[in-house]
Amino acid sequence: MRYLAKYILDDSKKKMVFLTGPRQSGKTTLVLDLLKDLQGIYLNWDDQDHRRQILKRDWSDEETYVALDEIHKYSRWKNFLKGTYDTQKDKHRFIITGSAKLDIYKKGQDSMLGRFFSWRVHPLCLSELKHHFKNNDESNLDKLIKLGGFPEPFFEGREVYAKRWRKEKLKLVFRQDIQELESIKDISLLELFYQGITERVGSEIVVSNIARDLEIAPKTAKSWLNILEKTYAVFIVPPYGKGIAKAITKTPKVYLYDNGEVYGDEGAKFENLVATHLYKRIQFLEDLYGDKYELNYLRDKNGHEVDFVILKNNKPVCLIEAKLNETTRSKSLYYYKERLKVDHCLQLIKSKVKPQTKDQIVVTSAYELLSMPLESEIF
C-alpha cells in the first residue's frame, strides 16, 4: 500500500480528498487498492458508461466511498462536485483524482473552499520502498537513478522496458495533457524545448538561450516552461536570495520527476535524484502538517554555490550539498552557513560512507538519509 493510504482514509472522513501528481505516478492504482478492502465505487470520466453514472450520480447508499477519476475533464466539474458533496457528504466519502489540470483548477476556487484536503502523489523514493514496500536494498538508489521512480518501469526492472514505457508516457503528456491545457500549434517544437531542459539538469536555466537555439520568442519559452511545470513534467527550484548580497544569482534550476529522463553525467543524475527526494518529502510534510516548505538553491557571482536550501515558513532551516564521492566538506556550506545562520547542514554522498559531523556539517550516505521515514523531519 502506498505511503499516503492512511492519510487519505483519515481525511476522507472530514472532507473530499484531492489527489494530484505526475501521470502514471500511481494515483489510480492507489485508489483501487484502497477500495479493495472498502465498500466503494470507482468511476472514470474517460469511460462512457462511467460518465453516464457520474452525471446521474448513480451509486447506491451502500457505497461508502465514491472515487471519481479525471472528473476535471467535465466542463462543469467544480459546481458538480460542490453540489454532490454538499448534498451527499453525510452518506459518502469522496476521493477525486486526476491530472495536473485538476491541480491547477482547484487553486483559487472559492466554491470549493473548505471542502477538500489535497495530497500530491510522487513517484517512488528510497523511504517509501523501505518502509511501505519492505524493500531495503541499497541497490535501489542506482535503480532509481537508472529507471526512475515511476512504479511500472521500476518494478519491471529492465532499462529497455523503462525506455519504451517512458516514450509512450511522454507522448501522452505532450499530445494529450498539455494540449488539453494549452493550445500549442507546434507541439514538436515544445518537445525539443523539453529535450533542452533534460540536457541542463543541475545547471541554471537561461530560458532566453534555449529560445534562441529554437528560434522562438523568450516569452514563449518562459510560457512553455510554466506549462511543463503545471503538467508535472518538471519542477522548478528557484534561487534563494533574501538577506544576502545582490550578487546572488536569480536564474532558476529545473529538475525532472522522472530520473530516467535526465540526459547528463552521473553527477547530474544523482543531483536530480536528491532533488526529487527532497521535493517529495517537503510536499508531503506540507500536506501533512500545514507548514509552508520551499526548495531553493544558492549561488552568487563569486562562485559560492549550495545545491539546495530548504525553507520552512520562509526561514532557511537546512543546507544540502549533493556529491558523488567527495567527503571533504564544501567550502560553500561553511560560507552560507555563517551568512544565513543555519544550524543544519548536510553533504550527501552517493557512495556508502559513515556519518561524520564536524563544525555542525554532517557528511553522510544519501541512501541512509533519504531512506528515513517521510514523516520525520530530517532537517
Q: What is d(CA 341, CA 319) in angstroms, rounded to the nearest whole number? A: 11
Q: How many residues does the chain have?
A: 379
Taking a C-beta distance cutoff of 8 angstroms, is the pair 141, 147 a contact? no
Angle at 293 between CA 305 and CA 283, to 5 degrees: 110
Pair 179, 313 in one domain: yes
Q: How many domains does the chain fold into?
A: 2
How high is the pLDDT of residue 338?
A: 94
pLDDT band at 66, cuts 50/70/90? Answer: very high
CB atoms within 10 A of CB 158: 11
Taking a C-beta distance cutoff of 8 angstroms, is the pair 263, 197 a contact? no
Instruction: Give the pLDDT confidence of 34-55 residue by residue, as tens digits.
Output: 999 899 999 999 899 999 999 9
What residues contact residue 131 under an 8 Å CB cut-off, 6+ apart? 3, 373, 374
Instruction: Give the pLDDT confidence of 140-190 residue by residue, as tens digits.
Output: 999 999 999 999 999 999 999 999 999 999 999 998 888 877 778 889 999
pLDDT band at 106, cuts 50/70/90? Answer: low
Instruction: Judge whether 375 lies within some domain.
Output: no
Query: Hey, what's the cell of 35?
Result: 477500495
Instruction: Give the pLDDT confidence of 125-134 residue by residue, as tens digits.
Output: 999 999 999 9
Q: How far is CA 166 from CA 78, 149, 267, 296, 372, in A?
A: 32, 12, 22, 28, 28
Q: What is d(CA 137, CA 117) in angstroms, rounded to the nearest whole number? A: 33
Pair 130, 109 in one domain: no
Instruction: Judge whether 150 lies within some domain.
Output: yes
Instruction: Judge whether 377 lies within some domain.
Output: no
Pair 251, 105 in one domain: no
Instruction: Judge whether 378 lies within some domain.
Output: no
Q: Which of 315, 329, 340 is nearest to 364 (CA)?
A: 329
Pair 301, 275 in one domain: yes
Mean pLDDT of the chain: 92
The domain that holds 43 is classified in CATH as 3.40.50.300
Pair 28, 83 in one domain: yes
In the predicted structure, residue 228 carries a pLDDT above the cut 60: yes
Maximal CA-CA distance, the chain: 66
Pair 214, 93 in one domain: no
Instruction: Judge whether 376 lies within some domain.
Output: no
| Start-to-end C-alpha separation, the chain | 26
Q: What are phi and psi of 63, to 5 degrees?
A: -80, 90
Domain that holds residue 71: 5-120
Pair 91, 232 in one domain: no
Q: How many CA atoms lie within 13 A of 314 on its CB side?
A: 2
How high is the pLDDT of residue 376?
A: 84
Taking a C-beta distance cutoff of 8 angstroms, is the pair 204, 303 a contact? no
Pair 285, 234 in one domain: yes
